[in-house]
Amino acid sequence: MNKAPLSRFGALAGLLLFAASFTLSASSLPEFTALVEKAGPAVVNISTRQSQAVANNPRGHVIPDLPEDSPLQDFFRRFFGEQGEDMLPDDDIQSKSLGSGFIISNDGYVMTNAHVVDGADEIIVRTNDRREFVATVVGADKRSDIALIKVDANALPTVKIGSAKDLKVGEWVLAIGSPFGFDHSATAGIVSAKGRSLPTENYVPFIQTDVAINPGNSGGPLFNLDGEVVGVNSQIYSRTGGFMGLSFAIPIDVAMDVADQLKRTGRVTRGWLGVLIQDVTRDLAETFRMPQPLGALVAQVVPNGPAAASGLQPGDVILDFNGTPIHESSALPPMVGVHPVGQPAKVTVLRRGETRVIELMIGELPEDSEIAEKGDAQDLQNKPNRIGLIVEDLSEEDRSQLGVGKSGVFVAKVEKGPAERAGIRVGDILLMIDNKDVESAAKLRDLLDAIEPGRSVAALIQRNEGRIFVAVRVPKD
C-alpha cells in the first residue's frame, strides 16, 4: 500500500487546520477602526502658553524640560547644541505645553487634566478638522487632576460617557490622544488593575492599564470596546519619562462628578471622616483576633472631626462603609469622598474583638493646611513616648467592658524601640509599668520620665482575655 499520498494528505490537512485556527485567533482580536472613526472627532489637542524664564542656546532654540535620564535628552543636545557657558541670558518667553482632552457637550465643554492647564496664560484647543479655539477655565481640581474648560462653539462632536464600575481586569481598552504632540494617536491595551491608590492621591481609585501613554496623552479619554469613555488618562509610572507599561486613568464616574461640581459652583466638595488609617497586616489581624487581614485600621482621630464626634477610636478596624465591605484601607477614602457632605453614613467597626455599627455625619474634606492645624492640638499625644508607644485613654464604657477598673491605656501604635522589642503590640491594654498603675496617657509619660535611663522594668499588659508581663528596658537619654 502506498502511504505517501496519505502522508501528504495528512500534512495538507494539518496545514489547513493551522490556517483555520490562525484565522479564528486573529478574528477574535478586537477591531478598533470603527471606534476610532466614531470617537476620534471629539478628542482634542490642547496646547498652553505661559510666561516663564528659560535660557536660550545660541541657535535660538529652547531645549524642552525633560527628565534628566530621558533618552530624548541626547537627541535634543545633538540637534540643538549643548547648553553651556555660551548660553544667552535668561529670557521671559511664552512656553507651550501639550496635552489632550475630549468634548463632553456640544456647546463646548471640554474635559482634561488639571495639570495640563495649570498656570496657563492661554489655552488653545485644536480639533481633528484643524479648527482652533481659545478656551477658558471653568474650574480645576488638583486632588483629582480634573479640569473643565470651555470653548465658544456649538454643534461640536461629543464622546459617549460610560462607567468604570463595570470594567473588568483583562478587558480591552483604547486611548486616543496626542503623545509628544502627535495628534490623534490611538493605542490599545488591557485593564491591569482597578482601585489603585497612588501616593499623590487617596481619593481617586485609579484604573491601571498597559495602554501606551506618553507625555501629551494627559487628559485624553480611555474607551471601552463599546466606544464609551471609562477613564481620563492622567499618570504614568516611568523611570525614563516615557511609557514603561504602567498607566493610570481617573475613572470617568469620578471625573464627571468633579466636572458637574466645577460647572455648578466652580469648586469641589468631598466627604470626610476625620481619621488617619492604615492597612491591617497579618500580625495586626492576629492581634485583633481576625481570621484574615482586611479593613482600614484607624491610627488617629482628628479632633473635632466627624469621627471624633461619633465616638470612633484609634484601634477601631473599619470593616464596611454603608454596607460596602472594605478589603483594603485604600478603598475607604474614595467611598467617603463621594458621599454627600452633611448626610449620615454607617460604618461597621471591629473594636477589641467585637463588631459594632456606628452612625456618623459625613463632614467636608478641608484643605490640607486646615487638617494640619486641627492635628496640632494632639501633637504631644500622638508623639511616641520614651519606650516607643503611642497610647490613647480609655472611656468609662471601655474600662467596664474590659474589666480593668481605673487602670489601663490603649496601645494605638508601636514604633521601633524598647516596647516593640519587648513584644508589646497594637491593641494591647497597658495596665501597669514598674509596679505602678497606668491610669492615663499623661500618667504613663510621668511614670516613664521618673524611671532611671537604662533600667529594665516590668509592664503588665492585657491582650485579648489574658494578662502577661513583659520586660521593657527604658533607653538611655
CATH code assigned at 331: 2.30.42.10
In a domain, 120, yes or no: no
Amino acid 9: pLDDT: 52
In a domain, 116, yes or no: no
250 and 316 in a common domain: no
- Residue 444: what are its φ and ψ, rounded to 5°? -60, -40
**Known catalytic residue at 70:** no
Domain end, chosen from 265, 285, 314, is at 265
Domain end, chosen from 248, 265, 282, is at 265
Burial of 134 (0-12, 13-18, 19+ CB in 10 A): exposed
CATH code for the domain of 222: 2.40.10.10
250 and 175 in a common domain: yes
Alpha-carbon distance of 114 to 95, in angstroms, equals 17
In a domain, 36, yes or no: no
**Known catalytic residue at 115:** yes
469 and 415 in a common domain: yes
In a domain, 434, yes or no: yes
In a domain, 336, yes or no: yes
In a domain, 315, yes or no: yes
Which of the following is catalytic: 218, 234, 329, 407?
218
320 and 306 in a common domain: yes
**Known catalytic residue at 97:** no
Please count the other Cβ atoms lying within 10 Å of the Cβ belonging to residue 105.
14
In a domain, 358, yes or no: yes
Amino acid 140: pLDDT: 94
Distances (CA, A) of 198 to 65, 170, 209, 320, 331: 24, 21, 14, 21, 12
359 and 296 in a common domain: yes
- Domain range spanning residue 165? 160-265
Domain end, chosen from 376, 403, 432, is at 376
Residue 69: CB partners within 8 Å, gap ≥ 6? Answer: 239, 240, 241
427 and 332 in a common domain: no
Amino acid 119: pLDDT: 85
CA torsion through residues 99, 167, 275, 413, sign: negative
Amino acid 264: pLDDT: 93
Alpha-carbon distance of 262 to 356, in angstroms, equals 37
Query: How far is C-alpha 224 from the geometric centre of its chain's CA atoms?
Result: 22
Q: One-letter amino acid identity for 411?
A: V
411 and 338 in a common domain: no
398 and 340 in a common domain: no
Which of the following is catalytic: 145, 183, 320, 428?
145
Amino acid 430: pLDDT: 92
Which of the following is catalytic: 95, 115, 393, 434?
115
Total residues found in the chain within this entry: 477
Amino acid 380: pLDDT: 41
Alpha-carbon distance of 207 to 221, in angstroms, equals 12
Amino acid 55: pLDDT: 43
359 and 294 in a common domain: yes
Q: Enumerate the β-bridge partners of residue 344.
A: 361
Task: Count the domains in the chain.
Answer: 3
Strands (E), 145-236: 146-151, 160-161, 172-177, 185-198, 201-209, 221-223, 228-236
Amino acid 44: pLDDT: 96
What does each of the 477 residues of the chain score in pLDDT, given as a tens digit? 455 554 555 555 555 555 555 444 555 778 899 999 999 999 999 999 876 544 444 444 444 444 444 555 554 454 444 444 444 444 454 557 689 999 999 999 999 999 999 888 999 999 988 999 999 999 999 989 999 999 999 999 999 999 999 999 999 999 999 888 888 899 999 999 998 877 666 789 899 999 998 888 999 999 999 999 999 999 887 666 666 778 999 999 999 999 999 999 999 999 999 888 888 888 778 877 888 999 998 877 888 889 999 999 888 899 999 999 999 888 899 999 999 999 999 999 998 888 999 999 999 988 754 444 344 334 444 578 888 899 988 887 777 778 888 889 989 888 888 898 889 998 889 998 988 899 888 889 889 888 888 888 888 888 876 788 888 888 876
Burial of 262 (0-12, 13-18, 19+ CB in 10 A): buried
**How does DSSP classify residue 44?**
E
302 and 261 in a common domain: no
In a domain, 50, yes or no: no
284 and 242 in a common domain: no
Helix (H, G, I), strand (E, B) or coil at 338: helix
255 and 309 in a common domain: no
